[in-house]
A and B are shown apart, each in its own frame.
Chain A
Amino acid sequence: MTEHDQSARLDLLPVPPTPPAHLDALRARLADAAADAELLDLAFRTIDSPVGDLLLATSAQGLVRVAFANENFDAVLDTLGAAVGRRILNAPARLDAPARQLDDYFAGRRRAFDLTLDLRLSAGFRRLVQQHLPEIPYGRTASYKEMAALVGNPGAVRAVGTACSTNPLPIVVPCHRVVRSDGSLGGYIGGFAAKQALLDLEHAAAQP
Protein backbone atom coordinates (compact mmCIF):
# COMPACT_ATOMS: atom_id res chain seq x y z
CA MET A 1 0.00 0.00 0.00
CA THR A 2 3.03 2.30 0.40
CA GLU A 3 3.08 3.13 -3.29
CA HIS A 4 -0.41 4.62 -3.02
CA ASP A 5 -0.16 5.93 0.49
CA GLN A 6 -1.96 9.27 0.71
CA SER A 7 0.80 11.11 2.57
CA ALA A 8 3.52 9.81 0.25
CA ARG A 9 1.50 11.04 -2.71
CA LEU A 10 1.04 14.48 -1.24
CA ASP A 11 4.75 14.82 -0.54
CA LEU A 12 5.37 14.52 -4.25
CA LEU A 13 3.12 17.37 -5.29
CA PRO A 14 2.27 20.72 -3.69
CA VAL A 15 -1.48 20.09 -3.72
CA PRO A 16 -3.44 23.24 -2.86
CA PRO A 17 -5.74 22.48 0.10
CA THR A 18 -9.46 22.23 -0.57
CA PRO A 19 -11.45 24.62 1.65
CA PRO A 20 -13.85 22.50 3.79
CA ALA A 21 -16.69 24.86 2.83
CA HIS A 22 -16.17 23.98 -0.83
CA LEU A 23 -16.50 20.25 -0.16
CA ASP A 24 -19.53 20.90 2.06
CA ALA A 25 -21.21 22.81 -0.77
CA LEU A 26 -20.45 19.97 -3.19
CA ARG A 27 -21.90 17.45 -0.73
CA ALA A 28 -25.09 19.50 -0.32
CA ARG A 29 -25.44 19.68 -4.08
CA LEU A 30 -24.90 15.91 -4.36
CA ALA A 31 -27.61 15.25 -1.76
CA ASP A 32 -30.11 17.39 -3.71
CA ALA A 33 -29.25 15.74 -7.02
CA ALA A 34 -29.45 12.27 -5.43
CA ALA A 35 -32.89 13.00 -3.95
CA ASP A 36 -34.13 14.42 -7.27
CA ALA A 37 -32.92 11.28 -9.05
CA GLU A 38 -34.56 9.11 -6.36
CA LEU A 39 -31.21 7.49 -5.63
CA LEU A 40 -31.28 8.01 -1.86
CA ASP A 41 -32.32 5.25 0.52
CA LEU A 42 -31.75 7.50 3.53
CA ALA A 43 -30.81 11.08 4.38
CA PHE A 44 -29.45 11.89 7.81
CA ARG A 45 -28.23 14.76 9.94
CA THR A 46 -27.16 15.32 13.51
CA ILE A 47 -28.51 18.01 15.83
CA ASP A 48 -27.44 19.04 19.31
CA SER A 49 -29.95 18.91 22.11
CA PRO A 50 -30.13 19.11 25.92
CA VAL A 51 -29.84 15.29 25.95
CA GLY A 52 -26.75 15.27 23.74
CA ASP A 53 -26.26 14.98 19.99
CA LEU A 54 -29.08 13.25 18.15
CA LEU A 55 -28.97 11.50 14.80
CA LEU A 56 -32.07 11.89 12.60
CA ALA A 57 -32.61 9.73 9.53
CA THR A 58 -35.39 9.86 6.96
CA SER A 59 -36.41 7.64 4.06
CA ALA A 60 -38.53 8.88 1.17
CA GLN A 61 -41.55 7.80 3.26
CA GLY A 62 -40.72 9.68 6.43
CA LEU A 63 -38.65 9.89 9.60
CA VAL A 64 -37.33 6.40 10.23
CA ARG A 65 -34.81 6.73 13.07
CA VAL A 66 -33.82 8.98 15.95
CA ALA A 67 -30.66 7.89 17.77
CA PHE A 68 -28.81 9.01 20.87
CA ALA A 69 -25.05 9.50 20.82
CA ASN A 70 -24.58 6.59 23.24
CA GLU A 71 -25.88 4.28 20.49
CA ASN A 72 -22.82 5.24 18.33
CA PHE A 73 -23.94 7.00 15.16
CA ASP A 74 -21.60 5.00 12.89
CA ALA A 75 -23.03 1.76 14.25
CA VAL A 76 -26.58 3.09 13.84
CA LEU A 77 -25.89 4.04 10.21
CA ASP A 78 -24.35 0.61 9.54
CA THR A 79 -27.48 -1.06 10.93
CA LEU A 80 -29.73 1.27 8.91
CA GLY A 81 -27.68 0.49 5.82
CA ALA A 82 -28.32 -3.21 6.24
CA ALA A 83 -32.03 -2.73 7.06
CA VAL A 84 -33.06 0.04 4.65
CA GLY A 85 -30.29 0.49 2.08
CA ARG A 86 -26.73 1.77 1.88
CA ARG A 87 -27.34 4.71 -0.42
CA ILE A 88 -27.12 7.05 2.54
CA LEU A 89 -26.02 10.70 2.56
CA ASN A 90 -25.64 13.41 5.15
CA ALA A 91 -28.32 15.82 3.89
CA PRO A 92 -29.33 18.24 6.64
CA ALA A 93 -31.86 20.16 4.55
CA ARG A 94 -33.96 17.03 4.10
CA LEU A 95 -34.44 16.88 7.87
CA ASP A 96 -35.29 20.52 8.53
CA ALA A 97 -38.85 19.78 9.70
CA PRO A 98 -38.01 17.18 12.38
CA ALA A 99 -34.98 19.26 13.47
CA ARG A 100 -37.16 22.33 13.93
CA GLN A 101 -39.90 20.42 15.78
CA LEU A 102 -37.36 18.83 18.13
CA ASP A 103 -35.88 22.27 18.78
CA ASP A 104 -39.36 23.52 19.70
CA TYR A 105 -39.95 20.45 21.86
CA PHE A 106 -36.74 21.01 23.84
CA ALA A 107 -37.64 24.69 24.25
CA GLY A 108 -41.00 23.63 25.76
CA ARG A 109 -42.93 25.14 22.84
CA ARG A 110 -44.16 21.86 21.34
CA ARG A 111 -46.06 19.02 23.00
CA ALA A 112 -46.70 16.69 20.05
CA PHE A 113 -44.88 16.00 16.81
CA ASP A 114 -46.51 16.53 13.46
CA LEU A 115 -44.26 14.40 11.23
CA THR A 116 -44.73 11.61 8.74
CA LEU A 117 -43.11 8.52 10.23
CA ASP A 118 -41.70 5.49 8.45
CA LEU A 119 -42.33 2.60 10.87
CA ARG A 120 -40.62 -0.07 8.82
CA LEU A 121 -38.00 -0.80 11.50
CA SER A 122 -40.55 -2.34 13.85
CA ALA A 123 -43.20 -4.97 13.28
CA GLY A 124 -45.87 -6.94 15.09
CA PHE A 125 -46.52 -6.31 18.78
CA ARG A 126 -43.58 -3.89 19.13
CA ARG A 127 -44.99 -1.74 16.37
CA LEU A 128 -48.46 -1.88 17.90
CA VAL A 129 -47.11 -0.65 21.25
CA GLN A 130 -45.06 2.09 19.57
CA GLN A 131 -48.12 3.27 17.65
CA HIS A 132 -50.00 3.67 20.93
CA LEU A 133 -47.23 5.44 22.85
CA PRO A 134 -48.28 8.95 21.71
CA GLU A 135 -51.57 8.37 23.56
CA ILE A 136 -49.76 8.97 26.86
CA PRO A 137 -50.28 12.73 27.33
CA TYR A 138 -47.36 15.15 27.37
CA GLY A 139 -46.08 15.66 30.90
CA ARG A 140 -47.62 12.39 32.15
CA THR A 141 -46.37 8.83 32.51
CA ALA A 142 -47.86 5.34 32.23
CA SER A 143 -46.58 2.08 33.68
CA TYR A 144 -45.49 -0.83 31.52
CA LYS A 145 -48.54 -2.65 32.94
CA GLU A 146 -50.93 0.15 31.98
CA MET A 147 -49.41 0.23 28.52
CA ALA A 148 -49.97 -3.51 28.13
CA ALA A 149 -53.63 -3.03 29.07
CA LEU A 150 -53.94 -0.09 26.66
CA VAL A 151 -52.93 -2.26 23.69
CA GLY A 152 -55.36 -4.98 24.81
CA ASN A 153 -52.82 -7.50 26.10
CA PRO A 154 -52.57 -7.01 29.89
CA GLY A 155 -50.24 -10.00 30.36
CA ALA A 156 -47.60 -8.68 27.95
CA VAL A 157 -45.82 -6.38 30.41
CA ARG A 158 -42.37 -7.71 29.51
CA ALA A 159 -43.10 -7.42 25.78
CA VAL A 160 -44.13 -3.78 26.30
CA GLY A 161 -40.72 -3.24 27.92
CA THR A 162 -39.04 -4.71 24.86
CA ALA A 163 -41.17 -2.55 22.56
CA CYS A 164 -40.08 0.57 24.45
CA SER A 165 -36.39 -0.35 24.55
CA THR A 166 -36.35 -1.07 20.79
CA ASN A 167 -38.29 2.06 19.78
CA PRO A 168 -36.49 3.32 16.63
CA LEU A 169 -37.95 6.82 17.08
CA PRO A 170 -37.32 7.82 20.69
CA ILE A 171 -38.48 11.28 21.85
CA VAL A 172 -40.75 11.62 18.78
CA VAL A 173 -42.51 8.40 19.80
CA PRO A 174 -42.55 9.01 23.58
CA CYS A 175 -41.38 5.74 25.08
CA HIS A 176 -39.74 7.87 27.80
CA ARG A 177 -43.24 8.30 29.29
CA VAL A 178 -43.43 4.63 30.25
CA VAL A 179 -42.08 3.93 33.76
CA ARG A 180 -42.23 1.12 36.30
CA SER A 181 -45.36 0.56 38.43
CA ASP A 182 -43.36 1.46 41.55
CA GLY A 183 -42.61 4.87 40.07
CA SER A 184 -38.93 4.16 39.30
CA LEU A 185 -37.84 5.08 35.81
CA GLY A 186 -36.96 1.77 34.19
CA GLY A 187 -34.50 1.59 31.34
CA TYR A 188 -34.11 3.94 28.41
CA ILE A 189 -32.37 3.68 25.08
CA GLY A 190 -30.73 7.09 25.62
CA GLY A 191 -29.73 6.31 29.21
CA PHE A 192 -31.28 7.01 32.60
CA ALA A 193 -30.23 10.69 32.68
CA ALA A 194 -31.83 11.40 29.29
CA LYS A 195 -35.11 9.82 30.34
CA GLN A 196 -35.12 11.86 33.56
CA ALA A 197 -34.30 15.06 31.61
CA LEU A 198 -37.16 14.52 29.15
CA LEU A 199 -39.68 13.84 31.93
CA ASP A 200 -38.44 16.88 33.88
CA LEU A 201 -38.70 19.07 30.78
CA GLU A 202 -42.26 17.94 30.08
CA HIS A 203 -43.28 18.19 33.71
CA ALA A 204 -41.98 21.77 33.96
CA ALA A 205 -43.46 22.89 30.63
CA ALA A 206 -46.82 21.27 31.43
CA GLN A 207 -47.25 23.36 34.60
CA PRO A 208 -49.95 26.00 34.14
Chain B
Amino acid sequence: MMTTKPPFDRVVTEHGETVLRVCRAVLGAHTDADDAWSETFLAALGAWPALPLTANVEAWLVTIAHRKAIDITRARSRHAIPVGDLPERASTRGIPDAGDLDLWAALATLPHKQRLAVAYHHLGGLPYRDVAELLGGSTDAARRAAADGMTSLRAILVDPPSPTDFLSKETS
Protein backbone atom coordinates (compact mmCIF):
# COMPACT_ATOMS: atom_id res chain seq x y z
CA MET B 1 0.00 0.00 0.00
CA MET B 2 1.18 3.51 -0.79
CA THR B 3 1.50 6.22 1.84
CA THR B 4 1.64 9.00 -0.73
CA LYS B 5 0.84 8.76 -4.40
CA PRO B 6 4.12 8.31 -6.31
CA PRO B 7 4.89 10.05 -9.62
CA PHE B 8 3.34 7.98 -12.42
CA ASP B 9 6.72 7.26 -13.97
CA ARG B 10 7.49 4.97 -11.03
CA VAL B 11 4.35 2.96 -11.86
CA VAL B 12 5.62 2.45 -15.41
CA THR B 13 9.04 1.40 -14.11
CA GLU B 14 7.62 -1.07 -11.59
CA HIS B 15 4.82 -2.59 -13.63
CA GLY B 16 5.66 -1.91 -17.28
CA GLU B 17 7.17 -5.31 -17.93
CA THR B 18 4.42 -7.22 -16.12
CA VAL B 19 1.71 -5.43 -18.11
CA LEU B 20 3.55 -6.15 -21.36
CA ARG B 21 3.72 -9.87 -20.45
CA VAL B 22 -0.01 -9.90 -19.80
CA CYS B 23 -0.73 -8.12 -23.09
CA ARG B 24 1.50 -10.58 -24.97
CA ALA B 25 -0.10 -13.55 -23.28
CA VAL B 26 -3.56 -12.37 -24.29
CA LEU B 27 -2.86 -10.96 -27.77
CA GLY B 28 0.40 -12.59 -28.89
CA ALA B 29 3.89 -11.10 -28.95
CA HIS B 30 3.38 -8.53 -31.69
CA THR B 31 2.25 -4.96 -32.25
CA ASP B 32 -1.27 -5.57 -30.92
CA ALA B 33 0.31 -6.25 -27.52
CA ASP B 34 2.37 -3.06 -27.80
CA ASP B 35 -0.79 -1.11 -28.64
CA ALA B 36 -2.61 -2.62 -25.66
CA TRP B 37 0.33 -1.70 -23.40
CA SER B 38 0.27 1.91 -24.62
CA GLU B 39 -3.50 2.21 -24.29
CA THR B 40 -3.36 0.71 -20.80
CA PHE B 41 -0.76 3.12 -19.46
CA LEU B 42 -2.32 6.12 -21.20
CA ALA B 43 -5.67 5.37 -19.54
CA ALA B 44 -3.95 4.68 -16.22
CA LEU B 45 -2.04 7.98 -16.44
CA GLY B 46 -5.29 9.90 -16.90
CA ALA B 47 -6.93 8.12 -13.94
CA TRP B 48 -3.84 8.11 -11.70
CA PRO B 49 -4.65 11.24 -9.62
CA ALA B 50 -8.09 9.82 -8.72
CA LEU B 51 -6.95 6.28 -7.81
CA PRO B 52 -7.37 5.65 -4.06
CA LEU B 53 -4.12 5.26 -2.11
CA THR B 54 -5.25 1.85 -0.89
CA ALA B 55 -5.64 0.43 -4.42
CA ASN B 56 -3.58 -2.55 -5.62
CA VAL B 57 -1.87 -0.78 -8.53
CA GLU B 58 -0.80 -3.94 -10.36
CA ALA B 59 -4.29 -5.46 -10.20
CA TRP B 60 -5.74 -2.16 -11.38
CA LEU B 61 -3.36 -2.12 -14.36
CA VAL B 62 -4.07 -5.76 -15.29
CA THR B 63 -7.80 -4.99 -15.23
CA ILE B 64 -7.30 -2.01 -17.56
CA ALA B 65 -5.09 -4.17 -19.82
CA HIS B 66 -7.90 -6.76 -19.98
CA ARG B 67 -10.35 -4.10 -21.22
CA LYS B 68 -7.87 -2.64 -23.71
CA ALA B 69 -7.10 -6.12 -25.08
CA ILE B 70 -10.82 -6.67 -25.66
CA ASP B 71 -11.04 -3.31 -27.50
CA ILE B 72 -8.11 -4.25 -29.70
CA THR B 73 -9.45 -7.75 -30.40
CA ARG B 74 -12.80 -6.24 -31.41
CA ALA B 75 -11.17 -3.63 -33.65
CA ARG B 76 -9.08 -6.36 -35.25
CA SER B 77 -12.10 -8.57 -35.92
CA ARG B 78 -13.99 -5.62 -37.45
CA HIS B 79 -11.19 -5.24 -39.95
CA ALA B 80 -10.80 -8.95 -40.59
CA ILE B 81 -12.59 -10.86 -43.34
CA PRO B 82 -15.43 -12.83 -41.72
CA VAL B 83 -15.00 -16.58 -42.04
CA GLY B 84 -17.98 -17.67 -39.98
CA ASP B 85 -17.87 -19.16 -36.48
CA LEU B 86 -14.76 -21.08 -35.60
CA PRO B 87 -14.99 -23.89 -33.09
CA GLU B 88 -13.06 -23.13 -29.90
CA ARG B 89 -10.21 -25.58 -29.96
CA ALA B 90 -6.49 -25.68 -29.46
CA SER B 91 -4.68 -24.29 -32.45
CA THR B 92 -2.25 -26.63 -34.16
CA ARG B 93 -0.30 -23.85 -35.87
CA GLY B 94 3.35 -24.11 -35.01
CA ILE B 95 3.05 -27.65 -33.72
CA PRO B 96 5.17 -29.27 -36.48
CA ASP B 97 8.22 -27.80 -34.76
CA ALA B 98 6.77 -27.67 -31.29
CA GLY B 99 10.19 -27.64 -29.65
CA ASP B 100 10.61 -24.05 -30.88
CA LEU B 101 7.37 -22.84 -29.29
CA ASP B 102 7.95 -20.00 -26.89
CA LEU B 103 5.55 -19.16 -24.10
CA TRP B 104 3.47 -16.77 -26.24
CA ALA B 105 2.98 -19.29 -29.02
CA ALA B 106 2.21 -22.00 -26.47
CA LEU B 107 -0.37 -19.76 -24.76
CA ALA B 108 -2.03 -19.16 -28.13
CA THR B 109 -2.83 -22.87 -28.35
CA LEU B 110 -4.88 -22.80 -25.12
CA PRO B 111 -8.65 -22.34 -25.00
CA HIS B 112 -9.54 -18.66 -24.49
CA LYS B 113 -10.53 -18.81 -20.81
CA GLN B 114 -7.50 -20.86 -19.81
CA ARG B 115 -5.21 -18.46 -21.64
CA LEU B 116 -6.71 -15.42 -19.90
CA ALA B 117 -6.73 -17.13 -16.49
CA VAL B 118 -3.02 -17.98 -16.82
CA ALA B 119 -2.22 -14.49 -18.15
CA TYR B 120 -4.02 -12.60 -15.39
CA HIS B 121 -3.14 -14.83 -12.46
CA HIS B 122 0.28 -16.31 -13.22
CA LEU B 123 1.73 -13.44 -15.27
CA GLY B 124 -0.29 -10.50 -13.92
CA GLY B 125 -0.49 -11.59 -10.27
CA LEU B 126 -4.25 -11.04 -10.13
CA PRO B 127 -5.99 -13.00 -7.34
CA TYR B 128 -8.42 -15.70 -8.62
CA ARG B 129 -11.35 -13.71 -7.17
CA ASP B 130 -10.49 -10.80 -9.50
CA VAL B 131 -9.76 -13.12 -12.44
CA ALA B 132 -13.25 -14.56 -11.99
CA GLU B 133 -14.73 -11.07 -12.10
CA LEU B 134 -13.05 -10.38 -15.43
CA LEU B 135 -13.86 -13.75 -17.02
CA GLY B 136 -17.30 -14.33 -15.49
CA GLY B 137 -18.00 -17.47 -13.47
CA SER B 138 -16.85 -18.48 -10.01
CA THR B 139 -13.50 -18.10 -8.29
CA ASP B 140 -13.17 -21.89 -8.36
CA ALA B 141 -13.80 -21.95 -12.10
CA ALA B 142 -11.07 -19.33 -12.60
CA ARG B 143 -8.68 -21.38 -10.45
CA ARG B 144 -9.47 -24.54 -12.46
CA ALA B 145 -9.05 -22.75 -15.79
CA ALA B 146 -5.63 -21.49 -14.71
CA ALA B 147 -4.61 -24.93 -13.41
CA ASP B 148 -5.75 -26.66 -16.62
CA GLY B 149 -3.93 -24.03 -18.66
CA MET B 150 -0.72 -24.51 -16.68
CA THR B 151 -0.93 -28.29 -17.12
CA SER B 152 -1.27 -27.91 -20.88
CA LEU B 153 1.54 -25.34 -21.00
CA ARG B 154 3.90 -27.63 -19.10
CA ALA B 155 3.08 -30.45 -21.47
CA ILE B 156 3.73 -28.25 -24.51
CA LEU B 157 6.83 -26.47 -23.23
CA VAL B 158 8.56 -29.14 -21.17
CA ASP B 159 7.54 -32.21 -23.13
CA PRO B 160 6.62 -30.97 -26.61
CA PRO B 161 4.70 -33.42 -28.77
CA SER B 162 6.71 -34.84 -31.67
CA PRO B 163 5.46 -36.69 -34.74
CA THR B 164 6.73 -40.00 -33.33
CA ASP B 165 4.65 -39.46 -30.16
CA PHE B 166 1.52 -39.24 -32.24
CA LEU B 167 2.50 -42.35 -34.25
CA SER B 168 3.23 -44.49 -31.22
CA LYS B 169 -0.03 -43.43 -29.58
CA GLU B 170 -1.98 -44.37 -32.68
CA THR B 171 -0.38 -47.79 -33.03
CA SER B 172 -0.48 -48.81 -29.37
Contacts and interface: CB of A to CB of B under 8 A. Distances in A.
Interface of A: 3-4, 6, 9, 12-16, 18, 23, 26-27, 29-30, 33-34, 37, 39-40, 42, 44, 77-78, 80-82, 85-90
Contacts of A9: 122-123, 125
Contacts of A3: 127
- Report, nearest first, the 10 A-B pairs whose CB atoms are least far apart: A88-B7, A4-B125, A81-B7, A77-B7, A90-B9, A89-B9, A39-B46, A86-B5, A30-B41, A39-B45
A30 B49 contact: no
30 contacts: A4-B127, A6-B18, A6-B125, A13-B118, A13-B153, A14-B102, A15-B21, A15-B103, A16-B104, A18-B17, A18-B20, A18-B21, A23-B17, A27-B12, A27-B16, A30-B12, A30-B38, A30-B45, A33-B42, A34-B42, A37-B42, A39-B42, A42-B7, A78-B6, A81-B7, A86-B5, A86-B48, A87-B49, A88-B7, A89-B8
Interface string B103-130: 1100000000000001000110111000
B122 A13 contact: yes
B34 interface: yes
B150 interface: yes
Interface residues of B, number: 35
B37 A26 contact: yes
B4 interface: yes
B9 A23 contact: no
A30 B42 contact: yes
A29 B6 contact: no
Contacts, number: 91
> Which of A81, A86, A89 has the largest number of chain B CB atoms within 10 A?
A86
A26 B125 contact: no
Contacts of A89: 8-9, 12, 45
B31 to A, nearest CB: 11
Given A4-B127, A23-B16, A30-B38, A14 B103 contact: yes
Contacts of A6: 18, 125
B21 A78 contact: no
A16 B17 CA distance: 11
